[in-house]
Structure 1
Amino acid sequence: MKNTWKIVSVAVALCATCSVASAADTPSWLKQPLKKPLSQVRIGITQNNAGVDAYETTYEQSFKDYAKKLGIQAIVLDPQGDPARQSNQIQDLTAQRVDVMIVWPTNAKALVPAVCRAKHAGIPVVITNSRIDKAGRRCTIAFSGPDTTKEGRVAGRMMVQALNGKGNVVMINGTPGYATAVNREEGFKEAVGKHKGIKILDAQPADWNRAKAQSVMESFITKYGEKIDGVFAADDNMGAGALNAIKSAGIPCGRIKITGATNFAVGYDAIKAGCYYGSVVQSPVEDARNALKMAVKVAEGQSVPKTSYIDTPSITKNNIDKHQRPVF
């Protein structure tokens, strides 16, 4: 607990230097009159794995930048993927009586008790990016982020298109128990399951890690060889690892079709080069800003929708020039 409190203290000290937005600077999405000046709004967030994953690192920096622009006080914490540490951070933010708490769950089920304790203590909780388990949704005020089941379906439909409805596919999934991983896997299976010509040979997690994904793909190649026609990667970071294994095995670029989600810069470049069939665009900048906007509205006593999805269009070589290269 001592280490967690130290992190909180540092976060508060940093926010003391944030610029303060005047009433004239109030953004158009925030209705007037304000319940209290934005400079007095305190938002706490316990995020996930910043500095480890490019998406999450960009999300955190975007969150801090936008909080500073708005002039609010932001307390930013990172449990580093540990549900127990995140539970302690939720307790810490509750004790500090933040106006609103934002939680990016490290585990959909494990965080339910801590989130419900925050709610019962009178702290509104906004869930960001990855869903909390259904049992905990009664304790939250809203969800902001991508529709991850839809993303899995989109990746599945792209795979069907890439294989013309016939072929063998392997799956490289995210961290077991993590809602985004579960939802994308289910969405992908739902989409390809409608086509009897497509068979899923195998599925293994790689915990959103490129090196692990490369190792998983190497094992798949050793086991199934030329039987593999397609790879689903739950995000482009793992898709890049799969592509590295394919190239190392001497398999021609594009022979094995890869579809994924959360388009990283490396995935964007691979699509453009014809080595990667398609992905789903998901901006960490929009993700962070949307969550912060929702939390500020709640702090100001304004109504918010129970669910606010960010835009997640598909991207292939056919439309890639209409999309900017990701910043992460």
Structure 2
Amino acid sequence: MTIRNTFLQQCNRFRFFVRILVLLVLSVSLTGCARTQSTHKEIKIGVCAYDQYDTFLTQLIDCFDENVEDGVSVEYAYASQSQITQNEQVRKMIEKGVDVLCVNLVDRTAPNTIIDLGKKNDVPIIFFNRELVEEDITQWPKLYYVGADAFESGIMQGELAANMIRRESLNADKNGDGKIQYVVLEGEAGHQDSIVRTEYSVKTLVDEGIDVDKVGYAIANWNRAQAQTKMAQLIERNDEAIELVLANNDDMALGAVDAYNSAKISAVDRPIIIGIDGTDVGLEAVVNKTIAGTIYNDKEGQAKAMYDLSILLAREEPLNSLGMEDGRYIRLPYQKVDASNVLQFIHK
């Protein structure tokens, strides 16, 4: 009896220790699960863009979407060029509980409603592609900008044009008067990128020693169809005297090509046409030699920077790894593209 009792007592103790061990393992597992859930809670990002028909912007947002990982949800909204609509879209996204907002402003001079909504609800805002003025971005510490330096794109377009004119001096100066007659297709009235790209492309041409003569100018609102219409008018007015077309973006450069196609002017008699942005259709046009070149706006780099910044802000983690200017700005560099290097950008 004694041996049997002793054996039973030992079995009971063993069972007791096993139960305790199981409870401890379960407790650790549950704690770990809770900790994992809290660390990897779903992040909600709202992305608001000024219009759904802007080629570069559409491709940038596609690149952003390619970065999205498990545990992150993104809601997209397009304002159809209405600031009032965009303000309402931002308000609804905040009500749905987004952690971060990425906003491509309709009107870069009218961000106050959106800033106030973000500030009131403590939702950080990353403005992208359309840079608001410095006085506005300093209204609240949780305002940021991702994009590029518009001055750089204008300067590079001017440099690229100057190099092409020098390289093809006889073909470039078709009328042999020692000057390059040029027209500008400008993006949007009052838009910073339009103003800067126009001013600095021409200024750089002059600084590079190219004697120029402005024979036309038109605002085409970044739009290919509008650019075709405006360019057709410029061709008719100048009787084929145009030797250079500086377009603020690729879509307008391609609109100029469409106008020359419609006018049935041969490739030999056409001017040098240069765009900006390096969109897929723009790069294809460089390959096909329908435009001479473009300035690559790094949509992949901007999308990645915007996504990484969104995640860090949502998790309230340090931003040191992003290399920001003044703690607010991320700007990716432009690059010149012509027939000699276009394939590396297409493969990108």
When the two structures are superposed, what TM-score results if normalisation uses the length of structure 2?
0.75
- Give the distance between the partners of 1:266 and 1:63, measured in 2 at CA: 19
Taking structure 1 as reference, are residues 275 and 74 closer, same or farther at Cα in structure 2, changes over 3 Å only? Answer: closer
- Give the distance between the partners of 1:181 and 1:107, measured in 2 at CA: 13
Alpha-carbon contact 1:151-1:261 (below 8 Å) kept:
yes
Larger radius of gyration: 2
5+ residue gaps, structure 1: 1-32
- Give the distance between the partners of 1:70 and 1:322, measured in 2 at CA: 31
- Give the distance between the partners of 2:188 and 2:105, measured in 1 at CA: 12
Taking structure 1 as reference, are residues 63 and 266 closer, same or farther at Cα in structure 2, changes over 3 Å only? Answer: closer
The alpha-carbon deviation at position 325 of structure 1 amounts to 5.6
Q: Which residue of 1 aligns with 2:49?
A: 47
Q: Is residue 125 from structure 1 mapped to residue 125 from structure 2 by the alignment? A: yes
- Give the distance between the partners of 1:278 and 1:34, measured in 2 at CA: 50
Q: Which residue of 2 aligns with 1:161?
A: 163
Q: Which residue of 1 aligns with 2:311?
A: 296
Taking structure 1 as reference, are residues 300 and 187 closer, same or farther at Cα in structure 2, changes over 3 Å only? Answer: farther
Alpha-carbon contact 2:162-2:210 (below 8 Å) kept:
no
Alpha-carbon contact 1:163-1:229 (below 8 Å) kept:
no
CA deviation profile, 1:244-296 (whole Å, cap 9, x unmatched): 11233233325300111112333223322333211012243433232111111
Q: Is residue 309 from structure 1 mapped to residue 322 from structure 2 by the alignment? A: no
Matches within 5 A, 1:94-109: 94-109=94-109
Alpha-carbon contact 2:99-2:314 (below 8 Å) kept:
yes
- AA aligned to 2:125 is V
- Give the distance between the partners of 2:213 and 2:190, measured in 1 at CA: 24
The alpha-carbon deviation at position 36 of structure 1 amounts to 5.5
Alpha-carbon contact 1:103-1:128 (below 8 Å) kept:
yes
Q: Is residue 192 from structure 1 mapped to residue 193 from structure 2 by the alignment? A: no
Taking structure 1 as reference, are residues 135 and 88 closer, same or farther at Cα in structure 2, changes over 3 Å only? Answer: farther
- Give the distance between the partners of 2:246 and 2:289, measured in 1 at CA: 16
Q: Which residue of 1 aligns with 2:261?
A: 247
- Give the distance between the partners of 1:177 and 1:95, measured in 2 at CA: 32
- Give the distance between the partners of 1:272 and 1:95, measured in 2 at CA: 47
- Give the aligned length: 292
Q: Which residue of 2 aligns with 1:66?
A: 67
Q: Is residue 277 from structure 1 mapped to residue 313 from structure 2 by the alignment? A: no
Choose 172-181 or 146-155, whichever is displaced more: 172-181
Structure with a larger share of its residues in helix? 2
Alpha-carbon contact 1:36-1:300 (below 8 Å) kept:
no
Taking structure 1 as reference, are residues 323 and 192 closer, same or farther at Cα in structure 2, changes over 3 Å only? Answer: same
- Give the distance between the partners of 2:242 and 2:77, measured in 1 at CA: 42
Aligned-partner SS, 1:296? helix
CA deviation profile, 1:172-201 (whole Å, cap 9, x unmatched): 111223333233223323323424612332
Aligned-partner SS, 2:216? strand
Aligned-partner SS, 1:324? helix
- Give the distance between the partners of 2:180 and 2:151, measured in 1 at CA: 23
- Give the distance between the partners of 1:180 and 1:268, measured in 2 at CA: 20
Taking structure 1 as reference, are residues 289 and 135 closer, same or farther at Cα in structure 2, changes over 3 Å only? Answer: same
- Give the distance between the partners of 1:113 and 1:204, measured in 2 at CA: 32
CA RMSD, 1 decimal: 2.6
Taking structure 1 as reference, are residues 108 and 269 closer, same or farther at Cα in structure 2, changes over 3 Å only? Answer: same
When the two structures are superposed, what TM-score results if normalisation uses the length of structure 1?
0.80
The alpha-carbon deviation at position 243 of structure 1 amounts to 0.8
Alpha-carbon contact 1:172-1:233 (below 8 Å) kept:
yes
CA deviation profile, 1:116-161 (whole Å, cap 9, x unmatched): 4423442211111221133321135321122222112111211222
- Give the distance between the partners of 2:210 and 2:279, measured in 1 at CA: 31
